[in-house]
Structure 1
Amino acid sequence: MSQITSPAPYTISRPQDVIDIINKNSAINTSVGVIFIALGGILIDAYQAAMVGFGNKYIAVQFGISPGLAATVNASVLIAALIGGLLANRVINRFGQRRAFLIGMALCTIGAAAVAIAPNIWWVLVCRVVMGFGLGIDFPLATNAVAELRGSSSKKTGSSVNLWQMAWYVSTTVVYLVVMLFLMSNVAEADLWRYGIFAGAVFAIIIMILRYFFIGESAMWAARVGRYDEACTILRHRYGVQASVGKAVPAEHQAINEHKIQGGYGILFNKRYRRRTILGCVVATMQAWQYNAVGVYLPLTLAGILSGGLMGALSGSAVVNALCGITGGLIGSLALQRLGTRRQSMYGFVVVTLALLALGALATASPWLSLGLLGSIIFFHSAGPGGLGMTIATLSYPPSIRPTGVGFARAIMRTGAIAGLIIWPMLWGSLKTDAFYWLAAVPFIGFVTCLLIKWEPLGANVDVEDADVLSELEQK
């Protein structure tokens, strides 16, 4: 009788060994539910962004300021998130994935709960900054966690990471449904934004609890800081892989100097990574600009086009987000393996450009035509470049600088979000539907960039570059 023996366990003696194991073995549970839990901070980011867009005019009235100044105060969350994104790699290298997730969501929860009871605009400003730091820290951690669950060399990783765009529209649809629920519960219209933001704090607490139990610590981080026994435990529980620590672990691989990893920003612009960084940043920034003009202010735009008052604008926004945003995000993730990140972004930018030009010419012709064009913008934004800037950034760098690359791209992206959040109300107020002509320049720039830079990260095994990057960091 032959005896069946289990395969010999892996032996790890350096961080690259853990990276290689994960690239060969996806996590046991990579269901959509687990992916959404990992992307939970993005859900909160989307929720709060949409809630701010809805509440902007009410904040202006309550505190006696102009809508432009209210938008500027609300945009402080994006400036803080920009800084938080740049700090994300420092936080994860110092505290690890599990505690970094808690830090990011805790800041967001505290800020959201406090802004809901704000007595003056300065209180709102401080709370928005606190929220921004938390959201900025969280985003790179979220996409990095998804990449680690799947392994960056798998083509399925791109589809999983890109699900954050679908998650975004699920969250924004929830915003309008929550506001409608409060409105039907006889909450005063002027206070809807307060109730809505507080509900976001409750959602953030739920995300924190789910992440703590379902996502946990990063095996790559544990190995990078020399905790090889912990890395083996994570590999066994999360990936079903038996691994043991090698007898002789070279001293230089016991723990990579934290400060040197934090200095990875220069590497993003070296000869190898420069084109990848530019492509990811431009796609992310242009999509954020167009979204924060059209998507965040969708109720404002629809109120100027459709009849039915606030409830009509909220209902229309919920329908457009559900039918176009969620569907677009899902179709975009499914089509990604066929088209690739660069081409899919390029096609999406083209359609959004044409739709914006058509809106500028035909917005006053028919409310239903305008609604259809707005829906097409949301759909092709979501299916195209909406999520792909971050997907490109996530898949373009090895683990040691992945949070740095994603954090940097996300930080640059925030400049586009700030521009859309602040400039669009001003353009809409002075130009009305002619403002769509000006906005069309934004996706056109994204299209040209995708046309010129031919880098495709989908399926590229960038994790094999990790040892070279760590070596380069050690030499600094």
Structure 2
Amino acid sequence: MSHFSNPALYTIGRPQDVIDIVNKNSAVHANIGVILIALGGILIDAYQAAMVGFGNKYIAAQFGISPGLAATVNASVLVAALIGGLLSNYVINRFGQRRAFLIGMTLCTLGAALVSVAPNIWWVLVCRVIMGFGLGIDFPLATNAVAELRGSASKKTGTSVNLWQMAWYVSTTVVYLVLLPLLFAGISEEQLWRYGIFIGSLFAVIIMILRYFFIGESAMWAARVGRYDDEACRILKKRYGVHARVEEQSTAQVSEKQENELRGGYRILFNSRYRKRTILGCVVATMQAWQYNAVGLYLPLTLAGILSGGLTGALAGSAVVNALCGISGGLIGSLILQRFGTRLQSMYGFAVVSLALVALGMLSTTNPWLSLGLLGAIIFFHSAGPGGLGMTIATLSYPPVIRPTGVGFARAIMRTGAIAGLIFWPMLWGALKTDAFYWLAIIPFLGFLTCVLIKWEPLSVNVDAEDAQVLAELEK
């Protein structure tokens, strides 16, 4: 039903008024295209992560270092992203959603463009850190923007937020579809990663432009800093089709509370109400990142050790597995989310991935097609299950005033799992080959146990109704 059919006039005089309006009304043009534009930073994150995972051994060879050290340098992007995620709430409070998006993507674009021409490993290190800060800032903004576009009262919110996992695999599939034409065009294997990373910086510029025009500013942020007349009312009318007027009272003091909100937000994540939510979201996010950065990120490396056909076969196989299993898994996982819920869907996904990894350790040397099928099953159930749900749980578990803080913290903790997978998997694979799958199976099993023990389901709770109470706690 169109929002314009409701002529009701709302009165706003405090941030909670705007939050209530937004949460009951999806944006007029919140279609799949706009949602993917909001999630655009995640597309860039996935693209650059997969591209660097592919180029790890070439980076090591070009700069005369071990693959393990090259992976450690590349993991610096995750350390920087961890810090960037913790700072994201400050950035959005200080600059607003629109400018915060520009800051994040500008850092990512600059870092990617410079790393593609790196003359030495130290240059790579600095550029990866710059990229990491940008990506860390961007992710909480992206999922928060999607939640605001859909409105938390809508059943479509969880589905829309979780689409970031499908978007991730669309982006990683693009990586291999970019690399294959470059390889066929005669670019040497050793230089492919440079060309691929530079092309990724061009994608980031496109995302920046699209976001600026299609996503815009946050109505909640405008209200929180006291911009009711000139901004909040205008955004509500343009984006949600809602007419609002400002109550006659002073709101100038609102913006003075931002520093207190920043300092108190992390403390509230671990109070008696939010502790279990925080632990569940962080563990699901971390365990899925660990398993993905081992199997998914190094998929060409793994396939090259199992299949014949050289680099072309490994890239083509990676594209097929990502397209058929990763994209479809992310889409199906989003569509069935309302039926199973975030916790159960994560639990089932972790269970299947654990079993598939054990089977892969036992059977990977018997038949390459069986191995390919098991890898595809891992990617599918990771994508349909916990792959996106750690961030979905974090996004939907907190009210707007601390949502960027909660998502930023979960994303920061998640990076530790990504770092572990990125650094240790090449070492483990080099030492144990297919027996490494047995050890990796421990990771999703720990995620499974956490989902069994912590019974929190954000889809059944209106967390945005808690915003006023949390704001009052922050003001104390």
* Aligned: 1:438 with 2:439: yes
CA distance in 1, matches of 2:23, 2:189: 51
* Other-structure match for 1:290: 291
Check the 8 A contact 1:153/1:460 in 2, yes or no: no
Q: Which moved more, 1:274-283 or 1:8-17?
A: 8-17
* Other-structure match for 2:202: 202
Residues 6 and 374 (structure 1), Cα distance of their counterparts in 2 relative to 1, 3 Å cut: closer
* Other-structure match for 1:100: 100
* Other-structure match for 1:222: 222
> 1:107-138: CA deviations, max 9, x gaps?
00000000000000000000000000000000
* Other-structure match for 1:304: 305
* Aligned: 1:19 with 2:19: yes
* Other-structure match for 1:181: 181
Structure 2: give runs of 5+ residues left out of the alignment: none
Check the 8 A contact 1:84/1:137 in 2, yes or no: yes
* Other-structure match for 1:236: 237
Partner SS for 1:455: coil
CA distance in 2, matches of 1:75, 1:7: 53
Check the 8 A contact 1:9/1:243 in 2, yes or no: yes
CA distance in 2, matches of 1:184, 1:327: 28
* Other-structure match for 1:353: 354
* Other-structure match for 2:88: 88
Partner SS for 1:448: helix
* Other-structure match for 1:339: 340
Letter in 1 for 2:226: G
Q: Which moved more, 1:453-462 or 1:334-343?
A: 453-462
* Other-structure match for 1:111: 111
How much is the aligned-residue C-alpha RMSD, in angstroms?
A: 1.0
Check the 8 A contact 1:89/1:404 in 2, yes or no: yes
Residue pairs, 1:26-425, within 5 angstroms: 26-229=26-229, 230-249=231-250, 254-255=254-255, 257-263=257-263, 264-425=265-426
> 1:61-85: CA deviations, max 9, x gaps?
0000000000000000000000000
Partner SS for 1:26: coil
Check the 8 A contact 2:226/2:251 in 1, yes or no: no
CA distance in 2, matches of 1:70, 1:318: 24
CA distance in 1, matches of 2:8, 2:322: 50
Letter in 2 for 1:221: W
Q: Tell me the CA shift for residue 248 of structure 1.
A: 2.0
Letter in 1 for 2:106: A
CA distance in 2, matches of 1:243, 1:182: 53
Partner SS for 2:11: strand
Q: Tell me the CA shift for residue 188 of structure 1.
A: 1.2
Number of aligned positions between the proteins: 470
CA distance in 2, matches of 1:277, 1:261: 18
Partner SS for 1:401: helix
Q: Tell me the CA shift for residue 256 of structure 1.
A: 5.2
TM-score between the two structures when normalised by the length of structure 2: 0.98
Q: Tell me the CA shift for residue 6 of structure 1.
A: 6.8
Partner SS for 2:52: helix
Structure 1: give runs of 5+ residues left out of the alignment: none
Check the 8 A contact 1:14/1:249 in 2, yes or no: no
Q: Which moved more, 1:176-185 or 1:105-114?
A: 176-185
Q: Tell me the CA shift for residue 363 of structure 1.
A: 0.5
Check the 8 A contact 2:350/2:447 in 1, yes or no: yes
Letter in 1 for 2:146: V
Q: Tell me the CA shift for residue 19 of structure 1.
A: 0.5
TM-score between the two structures when normalised by the length of structure 1: 0.98
Q: Tell me the CA shift for residue 270 of structure 1.
A: 0.2
Q: Tell me the CA shift for residue 7 of structure 1.
A: 3.0
CA distance in 2, matches of 1:116, 1:52: 11
Q: Tell me the CA shift for residue 44 of structure 1.
A: 0.2
Q: Tell me the CA shift for residue 247 of structure 1.
A: 1.2
- How many percent of aligned residue pairs carry the same amino acid? 81
Check the 8 A contact 2:112/2:201 in 1, yes or no: yes
Letter in 2 for 1:176: Y
> 1:362-382: CA deviations, max 9, x gaps?
000100000000000000000
CA distance in 2, matches of 1:382, 1:6: 39
Check the 8 A contact 1:153/1:462 in 2, yes or no: no
Check the 8 A contact 2:24/2:152 in 1, yes or no: no
Q: Which moved more, 1:7-16 or 1:448-457?
A: 7-16
CA distance in 2, matches of 1:438, 1:398: 38
